[in-house]
């Protein structure tokens, strides 16, 4: 089954073709980062308009790269939420219309399920990743620990009470004067920093539970930065201290979640999953426990069409699809999704 995947939930237009027999056939991504940079954040109306401009050319490009004609598609998957309503509607409208014109099914995909399943697309020496596992979702808008009993059967174990991990990276980078979007810049800066030069707290690790809180960390960094000489060396040292605090906090909670779920497989997804130090720390933890950890390739940690094509293909294969109306769900609880596997 060949499935076209369309992602337009925020500021990335992503398109891909996933073939349930041959794997990923092609994918293309257009990032609107430059468009929103001067505003220091995503402007929803500009995002929608840019998806309108880019989506059809990107679909043509992806099909050409896959060496496919449009009528070879067996289904269309699109992100229906969570996300910006106008941006989602662009993807949903195009996906639904295309499916109608081709007389193939269309399926609505939950953006975070897309992130969550992305690691399952990767080939590994240890064989395919399969549920049950615990998923750490760390993106720009979410920080969640989810027990995955089967594909489509998700139980929320814990989540952030304020900022998401990616949001904390972005805001912290901004307050130290790094360019938008700050997360990857902050991580690069941290590479040059001296470990231990600055030490920030590991929020909410001193009490039981699997929830997170990252907004206080940002304030700690602000105070340290204001008191410092604000040199490049100091910026790098603070970045390193911040990154270590986030990574350590996430690792502690992942270990707790594995214990709570009685499970030794961890899957990590979302933009912060691209962070090198987080990957190394969780890899070391898994080795020490005799378990395993799976990540998407770094390019599929952040938003992309491949994860939507893949998640959609699994749902279409299970016989799920939508009626002909164009509907999106800007706020959407993943635990309410229908199961794919029993």
Least distance in Å: CB of 277 to ligand ATP? Answer: 8
Partner whose footprint covers residue 163, from Fe ion, ligand ATP, Mg ion, none (CB < 5 to 8 Å by kind): none
Per-residue mark of binding to Fe ion, 139-158 (x: CB under 5 A): x-------------------
Rounded-to-integer distance, Cα 34 and Cα 263, Å = 42
304 is in an annotated binding site: no
Does position 255 bind Fe ion by CB under 5 A?
Answer: no
Alpha helices in 85-207 (DSSP H): 85-102, 111-117, 165-175, 182-191
Q: According to the binding rule CB under 6 A, does residue 10 interact with ligand ATP?
A: yes
- The per-residue DSSP string of 266-286 comes to EEEESGGGG-HHHHHHHHHHH
Of 282, 291, 206, 218, the residue nearest 247 (C-alpha): 282
Q: Which is nearer to Fe ion, 214 or 225 (CB)?
A: 214
- Judged by CB under 6 A, which stretch of 16-24, 123-131, 227-235, 268-276 contacts ligand ATP? 268-276
Alpha-carbon span 326 to 96, nearest angstrom: 6
Residue 265 interacts with ligand ATP (CB under 6 A): yes or no: no
| 138 appears as a binding residue in the annotation | yes
Which residues sit opposite 17 in a β-bridge?
4, 26
Which lies closer to ligand ATP via its Cβ, residue 111 or residue 235? Answer: 111
Q: Has 137 been labeled as part of a binding site?
A: yes
66 vs 268, beta carbon nearer Fe ion: 268
If one asks whether residue 312 binds ligand ATP (CB under 6 A), the answer comes out as no
d(CA 165, CA 270): 10
Q: CB of 311 within 8 A of CB of 283?
A: no
In the complex, the residues that contact Mg ion under the rule CB under 5 A are: 10-12
């Amino acid at each position: 089954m060949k499935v076209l995947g369309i992602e337009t939930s925020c500021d990335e237009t992503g398109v891909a073709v996933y073939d349930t027999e041959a794997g990923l056939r092609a994918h293309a991504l257009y990032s609107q980062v430059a468009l929103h940079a001067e505003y220091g954040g995503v402007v929803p109306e500009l995002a929608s308009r840019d998806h309108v401009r880019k989506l059809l050319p990107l679909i043509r490009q992806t099909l050409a790269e896959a060496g496919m004609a449009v009528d070879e598609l067996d289904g269309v998957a699109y992100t229906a939420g969570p996300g910006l309503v106008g941006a989602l509607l662009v993807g949903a409208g195009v996906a639904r219309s295309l499916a109608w014109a081709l007389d193939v099914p269309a399926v609505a995909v939950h953006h975070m399920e897309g992130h969550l399943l992305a690691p399952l697309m990767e080939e590994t020496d240890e064989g395919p990743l399969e549920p049950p596992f615990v998923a750490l979702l760390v993106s720009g808008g979410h920080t969640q620990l989810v027990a995955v009993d089967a594909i489509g059967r998700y139980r929320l174990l814990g989540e952030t009470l304020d900022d998401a991990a990616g949001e904390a990276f972005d805001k912290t980078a901004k307050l130290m004067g790094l360019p938008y979007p700050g997360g990857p810049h902050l991580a690069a800066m941290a590479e040059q920093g001296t470990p231990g030069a600055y030490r920030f707290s590991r929020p909410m690790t001193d009490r039981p539970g699997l929830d997170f809180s990252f907004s206080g960390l940002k304030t700690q960094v602000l105070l340290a930065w204001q008191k410092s000489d604000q040199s490049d060396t100091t910026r790098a040292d603070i970045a390193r201290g911040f990154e270590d605090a986030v990574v350590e906090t996430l690792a502690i909670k992942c270990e707790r979640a594995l214990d709570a779920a009685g499970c030794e497989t961890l899957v990590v997804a979302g933009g912060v999953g691209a962070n090198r130090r987080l990957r190394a720390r969780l890899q070391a933890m898994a080795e020490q426990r005799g378990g395993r950890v799976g990540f998407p390739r770094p390019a599929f940690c952040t938003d992309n069409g491949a994860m939507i094509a893949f998640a959609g293909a699994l749902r279409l294969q299970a016989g799920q699809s939508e009626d002909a109306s164009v509907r999106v769900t800007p706020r959407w609880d993943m635990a309410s999704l229908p199961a794919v596997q029993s």
